[in-house]
Amino acid sequence: MFKYILRKLLALIPKLLVMSVILFFALELLPGDALSRTMPPDQYQALSEAQKVAAREALGLNAPPVIRYFRWLNQIFHGDFGYSASTGQNIGTMLAGRLPYTIELSFYGLLLATAVGLLLGFLSAVMKNTIVDYFCTTISVFGISLPEFFFGIVFIILFSVQLKWLPSGGRMPVGAHGFFSRVPYLVLPVMTMAISLTAALVRYTKNSMMDVMGKDYIKTARSKGLRETTVSFKHAFRNSLIPTMTLIVMRLPRLVGGSAVIEMVFNYPGIGNMALTAVNAGDIPVVMITTMTTGVMVLLSSTLVDIVTAMLDPRIRLG
Amino acid sequence: MTIRKKTRNTSLAKRSWQKFIQNRMAILGLIGLVLIIAACLAAPLLTNYDPTLIDPSIRGLSPSREHLLGTDRLGRDIFARILYGGRWSIMIGVIAAMGANLLGAALGCIAGYYGGKVDSVLVSIQEMLSIFPGTLINMLCIGFMGKSVRNLLLIFTFTGWPGVMRIVRGRILSLKQEPYVESCRANGIGGMSIMFHHLLPNTLGPIIVNSTMNVAGYILSEAALSYLGLGVPDNVPTWGNIINAAKRLDIVQTLPMLWLAPAAAICLFVLSINFFGDGLRDALDPSSK
């Protein structure tokens, strides 16, 4: 198991390096002065031409790209991503402020979707062709057929405008802090975010369960006289989880990326909202770095899921 | 040889067709698709209003006999916008799905058939591309290239190929072990011909199913991007762009038809596509027999 984890972690390094190379050269290719991205815009404006030339020399911006790449990589490791042209803030600081919000949203969304999706999928496989099955299938069909923001709008109208139970957007009341003041603000976005993944998971878990239920070892378990609940829980469900884990890994990017739309609907100050503001302001470096950051997040979390899957299935870590 | 091949083809096609028409949901999906597409194409017959004509005198009307679904804040008839918008939305979905699947199928063929370095390079690119959240990549590209229908189609094509590439590559990997491929090679048939004439047709089933499902996916993506204001230009009515007008909470409440109607259109179309695609999968996929 240890060897497997080590191998997975080592495989991350080349991927991360390739991503950093792509990001570096994509930033290089952008129009505009590279110097302008190393300092706040007002400071850049204040420089004279001669000062700019000197600053470029001092910062080593005239050095060959390879050397600049390694210098830049070093800066990245220290959290220095340069400055945003539109807000004048350090991009690293902007990300550090927003990223936890998005991670929080995506994490709870994933948690809720996995719990509900697995439960409903399990129920509709065990109670095939009953009203429970039809109910779950109908929910999952609608969940994948409507845009996510539609559910967001409906939730706001229902829970926040009509019933006045929950706030329609934002992150927490002004001046408040702590987890419990955030909870009401998280409920609706998390629910919205979980819908499409839940819908996909119900379908997937059901199919995967049905597959497993037809296997010989299930017949063996039944003929041993085990109770049906033991068979479906211990023998079928656990084995049906493996393809489901793959689905979750494949959906991770959509979960993080999909949050851009949900963050906008609920005016939630995460990185999706930040990227949207940046695109509208024509601030491409911010969007690039945000995209890369989410890519890294997805890469790390999918490695984590791989490791968890290997714990569930000895065939993977040995094979 | 040709005759035998032909009879075998028709019987397989016939069997698939019979399997398809026995599937009630699939037929329902097909009917839904035909009805929606026909209604969008026949838009000029069904409504007399121009979907882009701004008429300040009839702003924000509720549904009535003249305006079946009311008008939006600029006085445009919502029913007309839904019908004409459907043309754009469906067209964007279909073309993007075709582009992405053609590119993905070709790359999957090449990767699977040649293997080795070519394969590992293509697979790494595919892996890299599927790490990034689609919405963010699309936003980034739109930021670079600007808003237009053509750009949107290009972006969807170039970010959408990994899925189908994976499917085709997997199929080709197992197909190329078949004796008939060896016999092709022994007969001196070139790699290109083997790939695209002898191998690719055998992966057509999954490609068709995947393309169908992708149409639904792209319609949803377009709607999301347009809702963010980063999809198609404002003067092009698409289902997503119509909802974009309902961003503010007060408009959402005062003009419910502005977002309910296009959402219903999207839902019906995507549902139909999904049912139709499921039916196609059951009919075409040999492993589900």
| Per-window interface: A 279-298 vs B, CB < 8 A | 279-280, 282, 284, 287-288, 290-291, 294-295, 298
Render B189-254 in DSSP notation, one character per residue. Answer: --HHHIIIIIIGGGGHHHHHHHHHHHHHHHHHHHHHHHHTT-SS-TTS--HHHHHHTT-SHHHHHH
Residue B287 has pLDDT above 60, yes or no: no
Using a CB–CB cutoff of 8 Å, tell me whether B28 touches chain A.
Answer: no
Per-residue model confidence (pLDDT) at position B9: 55
What is the CATH code of the structural domain delimited by B22-284? 1.10.3720.10
Per-residue model confidence (pLDDT) at position B94: 93
Per-residue model confidence (pLDDT) at position A27: 79
Chain A nearest CA to B90, separation (Å): 15
Per-residue model confidence (pLDDT) at position B99: 94
Using a CB–CB cutoff of 8 Å, tell me whether B91 touches chain A.
Answer: no
Per-residue model confidence (pLDDT) at position B231: 83
Q: What is the mean pLDDT of chain B?
A: 83
Q: How far from each other are the two terminal CA atoms of chain A, in whole angstroms?
A: 12
Q: What is the mean pLDDT of chain A?
A: 81
Q: Which residue has the higher pLDDT, A146 or B53?
A: A146
Q: Which of B154, B116, B142, B131 is nearest to B224 (CA)?
A: B142
Using a CB–CB cutoff of 8 Å, tell me whether B139 touches chain A.
Answer: yes
Per-residue model confidence (pLDDT) at position B272: 92
Residues of chain A with C-beta less than 8 angstroms from the C-beta of B267: 142, 145-146, 150
Cβ separation of B128 and A18 shorter than 8 Å?
Answer: yes
Measured CA to CA, the distance from residue A287 to residue A278 in angstroms comes to 6
Region of poorest pLDDT, from A5-14, A252-261, B172-181: A252-261
Nearest CB among A19, A149, A254 relative to B227 is that of A149
Residue A175 has pLDDT above 70, yes or no: no
Per-residue model confidence (pLDDT) at position B1: 43
Per-residue model confidence (pLDDT) at position B81: 86
Per-residue model confidence (pLDDT) at position B96: 94
Using a CB–CB cutoff of 8 Å, tell me whether A156 touches chain B.
Answer: yes
Residue A318 has pLDDT above 70, yes or no: no
Name the residue in chain B with its Cα closest to that of A298.
B131
Using a CB–CB cutoff of 8 Å, tell me whether A54 touches chain B.
Answer: no
**In this structure, what token pair is assigned to residue B64?**
């009535």
Residue A176 pLDDT class (50, 70, 90 cuts): low
- Domain extent listing, chain B: 22-284
Using a CB–CB cutoff of 8 Å, tell me whether B123 touches chain A.
Answer: no
Using a CB–CB cutoff of 8 Å, tell me whether A210 touches chain B.
Answer: no
Per-residue model confidence (pLDDT) at position B289: 41
Per-residue model confidence (pLDDT) at position A174: 65
Cβ separation of A275 and B263 shorter than 8 Å?
Answer: no
Chain A nearest CA to B251, separation (Å): 11
Chain A nearest CA to B178, separation (Å): 25
Angle between helices B149-175 and B78-114 (to 10 degrees): 40
Residue B97 has pLDDT above 90, yes or no: yes
Q: Which residue has the higher pLDDT, A242 or A138?
A: A138
pLDDT in tens, B112-147: 888 889 898 998 888 888 888 888 888 888 888 888
Q: Which residue has the higher pLDDT, B4 or A234?
A: A234
